[in-house]
Amino acid sequence: MKVHLFWAAFTAACFLSPLYSSAQGVADALRYSTFDPLGSARALGTGNSMSALGADFSAVSSNPAGLAWYRKSEFTITPNFLNANARSTLLSGQGNAEEKGNKGNLNFGNLGLVLFSDPSGPDWRALNFSFGINRLQNFHRELYFRGDSRGSIVNRFQEIANSGQGTNNFETDLAGRATAIYDDDRNGVFETDMDLAPNALIRRQQSINNSGSISEMTFSAAANFKDFLMVGATIGIPLVRYSEVKNYDEEDFQSAIPFFDNLQYVERVSTSGVGINAKIGIIARPHQMLRIGAAVHTPTLYSLTDEYTTELTYNYTNAGQAQTGSAISPDGSFEYGLRSPWRFIGSAGVIVGKAGFITAEAEYVDYGSASLRFRDFPADESIANDNIAAQLQPALHLRIGGEVAYKTFRFRAGAGLNPSARVVDNDITNFTLSAGVGVRGRNSFIDLGYRISGFGESYQPYLTAEAPEQLVDSKTQRGLTALTVGFRF
């Protein structure tokens, strides 16, 4: 007969240790350092490549010098709709099918007010100010995978419990209280049902539901000198909201493991925070047709708070009787800081008379230079930052776009290439394709833009040192539709 005896000393030793602080790491640094500007429909339609041209509210979050091209005050608002489709396959095991996840989200890409002023003197043509909000990232997505393979998340709990690292309330304590790991011999070595059939196939599935955004409040000013040199600056205050719910299930579908029937492990984390940064830009017009721009973005200094819980339900059969062990963690909270990388943007645009324009820009970001700050946990901070430097790399993002004008109508297209920031995905380049239309009146305009983007990634539902690892390949396609309405006065 199996007797689940959970060593009393194990329970007594449980406490919230610095172990959890190390959960903040590479994924967090990359998540809050990667921007995917949604902005106005016009900017979206041209592939977000307009930083050298300006005269669009989205420019204050790329090259604020573009604000100096305005000749009237302007108010704009942009609702948009994101549809994210993810296809995921469990590569571990054999013959596992591709599974799909889908999630949509309606939000605002920007809301902004530009105030035009005509300074006295013949040389300065404009001194403009603006304030508003641009959405820099949308986290909404759902991933789902399902398949059969060897190994179990219980192996991870067992490894941690037997490693001498101590225990924590969010994994090993749960596993003990739910009887997923146990010390029947009371010798300090934890065992699992999986030890009785280590090569058994387990059916597993997981859904990952992400939501939230980074929306940046902007306060900008720009000046125009003789229509030759534009200079501008922006103070940005990014507001972070992020939520992730992971539901992970395992099942002994072949009844090959004594006692074990199935389990469910749920992880919930929500992040909130605020940051501050500065952006400085210039645009020169050496020729009537040509504009050349450059911008520098300082690192964003974030103050972030994670709140998290976990729960585990473990179902097994003992002496012919169905049994359930369950445990819920306490509410956890951790405050930390993040410094994102510097960003450098170079751009150029060619104006083809009244027929339209062509623009291009390049953005350089060294993602490996991001760093985390853990107050009171210097050792974990050092480990996390070493991992960021080792696993993330510089990336050069390229964007190109254009617009054709016909009477009051505008037709736009754009494209972008975005190399992966992860060293392990060094050979992966993600893409974007954009298109848009618009109608321009004397004092109002309306624009419609659409962008499709895709990226691939590898994912592990849990990490283990000794048991078979689980590797999931995921490909996400995101379609974004934006509608901008603007008024000049």
Model confidence at 417: pLDDT above 80: yes
pLDDT in tens, 248-270: 999 999 999 999 999 999 999 99
CA distance linking residue 461 with residue 244, whole number of Å: 13
- Which of 95, 39, 19 minimizes the C-alpha distance to 436? 39
Query: Domain 20-160+201-488, what fold?
Result: Porin (2.40.160)
Q: What is the per-residue pLDDT for 87?
A: 96
| H helices, E strands: number in the chain | 6, 19
- Enter the tokens of residue 449: 């833009």
Average pLDDT over residues 214-238: 97
Could you report how far apart the first and last alpha carbons of the chain are, in Å?
A: 82
Confidence of residue 387 (pLDDT cuts 50, 70, 90): very high
pLDDT in tens, 35-47: 987 789 999 999 9
Q: What is the per-residue pLDDT for 4?
A: 38
Q: pTM for the full model?
A: 0.89
pLDDT in tens, 155-182: 999 999 998 776 688 999 999 999 999 9
Q: Which residue did the predictor score with more confidence, 104 or 2?
A: 104
Average pLDDT over residues 115-122: 87
Q: What is the per-residue pLDDT for 166?
A: 64
Confidence of residue 186 (pLDDT cuts 50, 70, 90): confident
Confidence of residue 121 (pLDDT cuts 50, 70, 90): confident
For 44-53, 363-372, 424-433, which range has the lowest pLDDT when averaged over its residues?
Answer: 424-433
Cα 467 → chain centroid? 29
Q: Phi and psi of 32, rounded to 5°?
A: -95, 5
CA distance linking residue 279 with residue 293, whole number of Å: 13
pLDDT in tens, 70-90: 999 999 999 999 999 999 999
- Which of 210, 89, 202, 86 minimizes the C-alpha distance to 145? 89
Q: How far is CA 430 from CA 137, 306, 413, 426, 476, in A?
A: 16, 29, 18, 11, 10
Confidence of residue 469 (pLDDT cuts 50, 70, 90): very high
Average pLDDT over residues 404-422: 95
Q: What is the per-residue pLDDT for 88?
A: 97
Q: What is the per-residue pLDDT for 17?
A: 29
Counting residues of the chain whose pLDDT is more than 70, the rounded percentage is 95
Q: What is the per-residue pLDDT for 39?
A: 84
Average pLDDT over residues 397-425: 94
pLDDT in tens, 362-372: 999 999 999 99
Domains of the chain, by residue range, sit at 20-160+201-488
Q: What is the per-residue pLDDT for 56?
A: 93
pLDDT in tens, 150-160: 999 999 999 99
Return mean pLDDT, the chain: 92
Q: What is the per-residue pLDDT for 23?
A: 59
Write the DSSP assignment of 103-171 as a string of letters.
Answer: EEEEEEEEEEEEE----SSSSEEEEEEEEEEEEEEE--EEEEEEEEEE--HHHHHHHHHHTTS---TTT
Average pLDDT over residues 185-192: 90
Cα dihedral sign, 431-437-440-446: negative
CA distance linking residue 7 with residue 355, whole number of Å: 78
Confidence of residue 436 (pLDDT cuts 50, 70, 90): very high
Q: What is the per-residue pLDDT for 14?
A: 28
Model confidence at 295: pLDDT above 80: yes
Confidence of residue 115 (pLDDT cuts 50, 70, 90): very high
Model confidence at 8: pLDDT above 80: no
Q: How far is CA 280 from CA 67, 213, 221, 471, in A?
A: 12, 24, 10, 42
Q: What is the per-residue pLDDT for 475?
A: 92
